[in-house]
């Protein structure tokens, strides 16, 4: 028996010629929420065990309370991405809204405050919209945009990655331009590397990162999806405590785990949804990978085959964990006048 098994392995492994995958750890995939059109941009607030995410095109900000098991949402006026809680007030949410950065105060129970617009983005590209974003360790907001995507495809080269701080609200700093669809965003544990994805490029890139100044330099390609037997565009991304990247594949039906030091493909976790949009570590021990998905681009037939597409999934037993999501540090409260004092509240 033993020799037959060895023969089987010896025959099969070279034929597959796959990169070395870690032994299967039987991750468990659970559907956490009801589907929406296009769930994206999950962020985890470890102060209150809250998962935030958005339904971009419907302007909805969702709030999943881990302890209560409840899901609530509010609807804002425009496309919304990302949603990130603030450092000095957990209920003060910083969002990308249309082509702006905005703040809204919401505790998940009471009615939300009025939306306060803090900064305008992409003035030269009136049909572009916000896409993914994250805060860095200093609380600066990194937020990207993408060109208009319609039936004829994407308007190219109209995306921009910005860095938004209290000091540059009148003219947010351009970090990377042009891009097509700004996505990804992760920092390593040492906080000296920044990872980024422009989805249609199929690449994950790394920059050296200076946390003190917020500057990025020395672009290097870490991973090229086209060099692998995989489908889909790299979309949202997070990083684990060992600096492995967990990357959603839009059109690829899963999440992949990449060694950021050498680009090795370590693991593929399939999901019951073709269009996987992003991932974040959460849960009280930061060992649950929350993954958002979309149904907006599916055909009617695909929607029937993938009834959970558009849901948020929770993946457990991945054998690793993440670090807390960084919070944005722009305002202390919704009517804090010390930052962006000249901006008026929107009616």
Ligand X SMILES: *[C@@H]1O[C@H](CO)[C@@H](O)[C@H](O)[C@H]1NC(C)=O
Nearer to ligand X, 84 or 205 (CB): 205
Residue 105 counted as an annotated binding residue: no
What is the nearest approach in angstroms of ligand X to the Cβ of residue 91? 37
Chain residues in the site for ligand X (CB under 6 A)? 156-157, 178-180, 198, 200-201
Phi, psi of 95 (to 5 degrees): -130, 155
Q: Establish whether 224 is a catalytic residue.
A: no
Nearer to ligand X, 199 or 277 (CB): 199
Residue 148, helix vs strand vs coil: coil
Nearer to ligand X, 200 or 214 (CB): 200
In this structure, what token pair is assigned to residue 327?
């919070």
What is the nearest approach in angstroms of ligand X to the Cβ of residue 154? 7
Nearer to ligand X, 157 or 241 (CB): 157
Dist. CA 266–CA 233, nearest whole Å: 18
In this structure, what token pair is assigned to residue 305?
């085959």
Write down the catalytic residue from 198, 233, 235, 336.
235
Dist. CA 209–CA 222, nearest whole Å: 15
What is the nearest approach in angstroms of ligand X to the Cβ of residue 197? 11
Dist. CA 238–CA 226, nearest whole Å: 20
Cβ-based neighbours of 125, under 8 Å, separated by 6 or more: 99, 145, 147, 155, 158, 160
Nearer to ligand X, 32 or 160 (CB): 160
Residue 215 counted as an annotated binding residue: no
Cis peptide before 90 (omega within 30 of 0): no
Residue 40 counted as an annotated binding residue: yes
Cβ-based neighbours of 96, under 8 Å, separated by 6 or more: 80, 81, 82, 102, 121, 130, 131, 133, 143
Residue 329 counted as an annotated binding residue: no
What is the nearest approach in angstroms of ligand X to the Cβ of residue 219? 12
What is the nearest approach in angstroms of ligand X to the Cβ of residue 131? 14
Residue 183 counted as an annotated binding residue: yes
Residue 292, Cβ density class (10 Å: 0-12 exposed, 13-18 middle, ≥19 buried): buried
* Binding-site annotation: residue ranges for a divalent metal cation: 40, 183, 235
* Binding-site annotation: residue ranges: 40, 131, 149, 183, 235
Q: Which residues are catalytic?
A: 235
């Amino acid at each position: 028996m033993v020799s037959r098994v060895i023969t089987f392995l010896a025959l099969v492994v070279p034929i597959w010629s796959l990169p070395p995958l870690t032994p299967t750890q039987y991750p468990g995939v659970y559907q956490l929420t009801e589907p929406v059109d296009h769930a994206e941009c999950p962020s985890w607030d470890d102060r209150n065990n809250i998962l935030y995410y958005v339904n971009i095109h419907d302007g909805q900000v969702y709030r999943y309370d881990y302890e209560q098991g409840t899901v609530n949402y509010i609807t804002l006026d425009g496309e919304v991405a990302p949603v990130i809680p603030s450092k000095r007030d957990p209920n003060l949410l910083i969002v990308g809204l249309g082509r702006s950065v905005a703040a809204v105060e919401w505790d998940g129970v009471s009615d939300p405050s009025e939306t306060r617009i803090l900064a305008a983005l992409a003035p030269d590209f009136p049909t572009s919209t916000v896409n993914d974003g994250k805060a860095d360790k200093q609380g600066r907001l990194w937020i990207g945009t993408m060109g208009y995507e319609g039936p004829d495809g994407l308007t190219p080269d109209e995306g921009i990655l910005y860095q938004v701080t209290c000091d540059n609200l009148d003219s947010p700093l351009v970090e990377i331009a042009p891009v097509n669809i700004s996505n990804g965003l992760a920092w390593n544990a040492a906080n000296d590397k920044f990872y980024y994805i422009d989805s249609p490029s199929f690449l994950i890139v790394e920059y050296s990162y200076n946390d003190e100044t917020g500057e990025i330099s020395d672009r290097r390609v870490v991973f090229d999806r086209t060099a692998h037997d995989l489908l889909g565009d790299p979309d949202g991304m997070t990083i684990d405590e060992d600096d492995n990247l967990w990357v959603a594949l839009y059109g690829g039906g899963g999440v992949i785990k990449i060694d950021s030091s050498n680009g090795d493909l370590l693991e593929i976790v399939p999901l019951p949804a073709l269009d996987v949009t992003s991932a974040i570590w959460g849960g009280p021990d930061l060992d649950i990978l929350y993954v958002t998905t979309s149904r907006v681009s599916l055909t009617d037939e695909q929607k029937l085959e993938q009834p959970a597409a558009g849901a948020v999934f929770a993946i457990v037993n991945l054998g690793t964990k993440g670090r807390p999501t960084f919070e944005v540090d722009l305002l202390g409260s919704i009517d804090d006048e010390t930052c962006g004092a000249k901006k008026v509240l929107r009616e």
